[in-house]
Amino acid sequence: MPEQKRFLVTGRNGQLGHECGLIAPQGYDLVRVGREEMDLSDHAQIAKVIREVQPSFILHGAAWTAVDLAEEKEQEAFAINATAAEVMASCAAEIDARLAFVSTDYVFSGEGDAPWREDDPVAPLNAYGRSKLAGEQAVLGILGERGHVVRTSWVYGRRGNNFVRTMLRFMEQGRALKVVDDQLGSPTWAGGLAVALIALGLGENAPSILHYTDGGIISWCDFAQEIRACGIRNGLALEESSVNPCPSTEYPTPAARPSWSPMHFSSAWEGLGITQSTWQDALQLALPLLLRENDKVT
């Protein structure tokens, strides 16, 4: 009997890694690792895990995601987002495995008027974006057609720190929130992204770079207002809270934030059996799941 094929998922405790753990690709063993099993600053440990697991596909979702802290600790951000990805890609090449590197709209300039396409020029506007771009380049440079970069944006899931969970927590406290309305993008439900990434691992002949977000272009303020409305529809007592627009200049941050984040949804997903949901439909599906998860972990 042939040995069962394996997928290796990094970032087990992150919002994307958690969602992947709820998916069981038929005929494949899904192995998820967190920092305890694979410290991305330990190159020998990365190699040891990959050689022991012998995956046919690696989904590399773990990352340095502290955008503002990366301005102060750019070397450390590069070590996690770029150097570790390079080591992982080299190990994947040794065992002839494919690897998908989850990246970000932050590799672009953040200024535009049309959704970013896969071949648009890159021009990161902060240290985090530079570190992720370096990771992209390492993966594709080492693995060629066996490497994939999946860029996404505004991801939220059942676990971890994200905009949806933060907004709900503040709204439940009855706060009057001010949310920026001059940064535009597309939210992405981690559950849908996880399904797409598993499909990428199961599929063949996918391009080197793919973009995945839920459909629609909105501001953070638009998103917060719909989170509130969706929360009320799901029985949360959020009526005393409010969401009010404000410019980004009222909330200066160490790292520059993109004013334009929308990305073109790659046509290649259709060939993998993946269709795009609107951000409203995705939120409506996700929020009850997120609330049930909150009951377990808070």
CA 116 to chain centre: 16
DSSP state of 51: H
**Rg value, the chain, Cα:** 19
Cβ(177)–Cβ(224) under 8 Å?
Answer: yes
Listed in sequence order, the DSSP H helices in 33-121 are 43-53, 67-72, 74-78, 84-94
- How large is the angle between the packed helices 127-143 and 84-94, nearest 10 degrees? 10
Rounded Cα–Cα distance for residues 206 and 148 (Å): 8
**What sign results for the dihedral spanned by CA atoms 233, 219, 60, 151?**
positive
Cβ(212)–Cβ(61) under 8 Å?
Answer: no
Residues serving a catalytic function are 128
CA dihedral 216, 233, 274, 224 (to 10 degrees): 40
| Unique residue bearing structure tokens 């529809």 | 233
Residues in the chain: 298
DSSP H or E run through 285 = helix 279-297
- DSSP code per residue over 191-251: HHHHHHHHHHHH-SS--SEEE---B--EEHHHHHHHHHHHHHHTT---TT-EEEEE-GGGS
Cβ(56)–Cβ(110) under 8 Å?
Answer: no
CB count within 10 Å of CB 144 equals 10
